[in-house]
Amino acid sequence: MASAFGQTLQSRADLRAVVIGAGPAGSVSAAFLARRGFQVDVFERRPQPTEEQAASYRSYPMLLSMRSLQSIDCAGLHPAFLDATCFKGRIAVPSGSTMMYSQSTSHIVHRHQLGMQLISAAQDAYPGQIRYHFDHQLDAVDFAGQQASFVGEHKQQASQHGYDLLIGADGANSRTRELLQAIDSSFHTTLVSKANCTYKTFHELPSLPSTEHFYEGFEHHQPYQHMYTMMARGKNPRIRSISMWKNSAGRMCGMAALFDWHQWGHTPEELASADFPIPPTWLRAIGQQFDQQEFNPFGRVIKCSKICGQRAVLVGDAAHAVTSVMGQGCNTALSTCAALDRALAASSPSNPAQLDAALQKFNAEWLPEAHALQRLEFMAYLARANDKPARASPLTIFWTKFLMTTSTFATMALHKLYPKRFPYAIALFQELQEPSVSYTTVMRRIHLRAAGFAVAAAAVLSIFGFLGRLLISSGLRLL
Ligand SMILES: Cc1cc2nc3c(=O)[nH]c(=O)nc-3n(C[C@H](O)[C@H](O)[C@H](O)COP(=O)(O)OP(=O)(O)OC[C@H]3O[C@@H](n4cnc5c(N)ncnc54)[C@H](O)[C@@H]3O)c2cc1C
C-alpha cells in the first residue's frame, strides 16, 4: 500500500486502532498509525470544531517548534496553516520604548486552529483510513476483551468499539490513564506541580484611531510574524505579561498571564495599574473581553510511572502533562507520537507478542525523556523570581536556583569567550527548539555547565586567595 508519506508500507487493514481524543496528539498519532496500515477510529468527547469557536477563550496561542513540525511532517500531514496563515516568526519583546527581537523558527498557532487543521489534514492524507467520531466520550475499557465504551453528549450509552491497539490521547485529565491505573497496581501518577498562574485570552481587537499608536513600524508587520510580549514591570503583582499578535485578518489577538485571581479587582483598573505600553482603545477592549471569561489554569505537571498497559498506550498530555511555562507541551506531545511510531516500525504489530514488545520499548525509551522535560519545567518554574513554588522544600528551591543561575552564567561566559562555538547567550530556549537535542541532554548540559561554573569560580577564588595571602605576607616581611 502506498502511503501519503510516499513509502510503501505493509498493509494491515485488519488491524484496528482506537484513539481517544482529537487534540494535536490524537490526530498526529492517528496519522502515524494509518501510515503503518491501521484502520483508525478517533473518538472525541467534544462536538466537531468549527471556525466560529476560534475566537473562544479556550483558544490560546502556542509556539510550535521544529520538534512539532518534524513530527507532523513525518506523520505525512501537511496542514494548510503551516504554509498559508502561519508564519515563521520572531518573538518581539518590547521593553520600555525599544523593541527587542529574539530570532525564532517557531510558528505561532491557536490551539483551536491547530486541532481543526490537523483533523482535516489527517482525513485528507489517509482518506477512509481515519474516521473521527465527535460527541463520543470514553467511559470504560474492557482491556482483556479489547473493547472501549463511549457515551454521547447526554451521557446515554452511545457505542462500543473493539481494537487491537488503544491510544490514550485524551489530555492531562486522561480517562484512559485513569482506567489503566485501575487495572494495574504498579501504575502510579504523581502531581509534581500546579501552575499558580492563570490566563485569559482576547480576540479581534478594534483598529486603532489615528491618535493612538502601538510600536514604531508595527503597521507594516505581517500577520503572525511577530509576537509582542509585554512584561508588567512589577507594578501590579497580579499581572505577569500580555502577549499579542496579528491574526490572518490583521486584527490583534492575545492572552495575559495572571496571578492571584481570587484577589483580582476591577479588570480595567487592574490592567491600567500594570502600566503596559498598550493603546487605550485596545486596553478597554481587552478589559471588556476579560470580564466575560473565567480564569483558565495553565495546567499541572503529572508524572506517570509508565505510559503503556495491556495493548494500550498513552501519548501527549495524557502521558506527561506539563504546564505552559516552557512552551513544550504540544512539542513534546507530538514528539511522543513519533517515538511510538519508531517503536512500532521495528515490529510487526499484527503479531501480538511483537506489538507488546514494541509498546514496552516505547515505554522504556520515551519515559526518561518525558520525565526529563517535567524536571526541566519544574526547575524553570522554581527559578522564576516571583512564582510561588509548589510542593518544593527550601533545599530543592535553593539547589534549583543554584543550578539554573550558574548554568546561565556559564552559558553567557562561554558565549562571550567563544561566540562561534557557543552562538547563544541563553542556550536553554534554543536547545528546547532543536529536535536533535533530547530533553535528557538539555538536563545533562545544565548540570555540566553548573559544575563547570562552580569549578571555575572556585579556581578563581583560590587564585585570588593565594595572591592575597602572598601580598599580605610580603607586605608584613617588608614592614
Ligand atoms: C495557555 C497555554 C499555552 C500553551 N502554550 C504552549 C506552547 O507555546 N507550546 C506548546 O508546545 N504547548 C503549549 N501548551 C500546551 C499544549 O496546549 C498541550 O500540551 C497540547 O494541547 C497537548 O495536546 P494533547 O493532544 O496531548 O492534549 P489536548 O490538547 O488536551 O487534547 C486532548 C483531547 O482529548 C479530548 N478528550 C478528553 N477526555 C476525553 C474522553 N474521555 N473521551 C474522548 N475525548 C476526550 C479533549 O476534548 C481534547 O480534544 C499550552 C497550554 C496552555 C494551557
| 174's grid cell | 486522561
Q: How far apart are CA 425 and CA 95, in angstroms?
A: 19
Segments making up each domain of the chain, as ranges: 16-89+108-194+300-381, 198-297, 394-466
**Which of the listed residues 324, 337, 429 should we mutate to test ligand 1's pocket, taking the one with most ligand atoms within 8 A of CB?**
324
Q: How far apart are CA 273 and CA 401, in angstroms?
A: 30
What stretch of H or E contains 400? helix 394-417
The pLDDT, as a whole number, for residue 104 is 64
The pLDDT, as a whole number, for residue 426 is 73
Which segments of 315-393 does DSSP mark as H helices, in order?
317-320, 329-345, 352-383
Count the neighbouring beta carbons within 10 Å of the beta carbon of residue 464: 10
Which ligand 1 atom sits nearest the alpha carbon of residue 174? 38
Model confidence, pTM: 0.88
The pLDDT, as a whole number, for residue 56 is 67
- pLDDT values of the chain reduced to their tens digit, one per residue, 479 residues: 334 433 434 455 589 999 999 999 999 999 999 999 999 999 999 999 987 777 665 678 888 888 999 999 999 998 877 765 455 555 555 555 455 555 566 788 888 889 999 999 999 999 999 999 999 999 999 999 999 999 987 766 679 999 999 999 999 999 999 999 999 999 999 988 777 788 999 998 999 998 998 877 778 877 887 788 887 766 788 888 888 888 878 889 999 988 877 778 888 888 888 888 889 999 999 999 998 888 888 888 899 999 999 899 999 999 999 887 788 899 999 999 999 999 999 888 888 899 999 999 999 999 999 999 998 888 887 776 555 555 678 888 888 888 888 888 888 888 888 888 887 777 777 788 888 899 999 999 999 988 988 898 899 999 999 999 988 888 877 77
The pLDDT tens digits of the residues spanning 276-299 come to: 888 999 999 999 999 888 888 888
The pLDDT, as a whole number, for residue 227 is 80
Q: How far apart are CA 427 and CA 424, in angstroms?
A: 5
Q: How far is the CA of 323 from the centre of ligand 1 (A)?
A: 10
Which ligand 1 atom sits nearest the alpha carbon of residue 319? 26
Q: How far is the CA of 49 from the centre of ligand 1 (A)?
A: 14
CATH fold group of domain 16-89+108-194+300-381: FAD/NAD(P)-binding domain (3.50.50)
Alpha-carbon distances of 440 from 301, 371, 436, rounded to whole Å: 17, 8, 11
Q: Which of 43, 32, 27, 29 is nearest to 123 (CA)?
A: 27
Q: How far apart are CA 353 and CA 425, in angstroms?
A: 49
Sign of CA dihedral 460, 461, 465, 471: positive
**Which of the listed residues 18, 43, 170 should we mutate to test ligand 1's pocket, taking the one with most ligand atoms within 8 A of CB?**
170
Q: How far apart are CA 308 and CA 356, in angstroms?
A: 9
Cβ pair 426, 408 in contact under 8 A: yes
The pLDDT tens digits of the residues spanning 228-246 come to: 888 776 678 888 888 888 8
Please work out whether the CB of residue 41 comes within 6 Å of at least one atom of ligand 1.
Answer: no
Q: Determine the residue type at 231.
A: M
Indicate the SS3 state at residue 392. coil
Cβ pair 330, 21 in contact under 8 A: no
Which ligand 1 atom sits nearest the alpha carbon of residue 298? 53
The pLDDT, as a whole number, for residue 7 is 41
The pLDDT, as a whole number, for residue 9 is 47
Which ligand 1 atom sits nearest the alpha carbon of residue 199? 1
What stretch of H or E contains 74? helix 66-74
The pLDDT, as a whole number, for residue 378 is 83
**Per-position DSSP letters for 234-293, written without gaps between them:** TSSTTEEEEEEEE-TTS-EEEEEEE--GGG---HHHHHHHTT-S--HHHHHHHHHHHHTS
Show the CA angle centred on residue 29, arms to residues 28 and 30, nearest 5°.
Answer: 90
The pLDDT, as a whole number, for residue 2 is 37
Q: Whose grid coordinates read 492531562?
A: 172
The pLDDT tens digits of the residues spanning 126-138 come to: 999 999 999 999 9
Task: Write the CB contacts of 259 (distance below 8 Å, at least 6 apart in sequence).
Answer: 196, 197, 198, 237, 238, 239, 240, 386
Cβ pair 77, 31 in contact under 8 A: yes
**Which of the listed residues 56, 242, 317 should we mutate to test ligand 1's pocket, taking the one with most ligand atoms within 8 A of CB?**
317
Q: Which of 222, 211, 202 is nearest to 283 (CA)?
A: 202
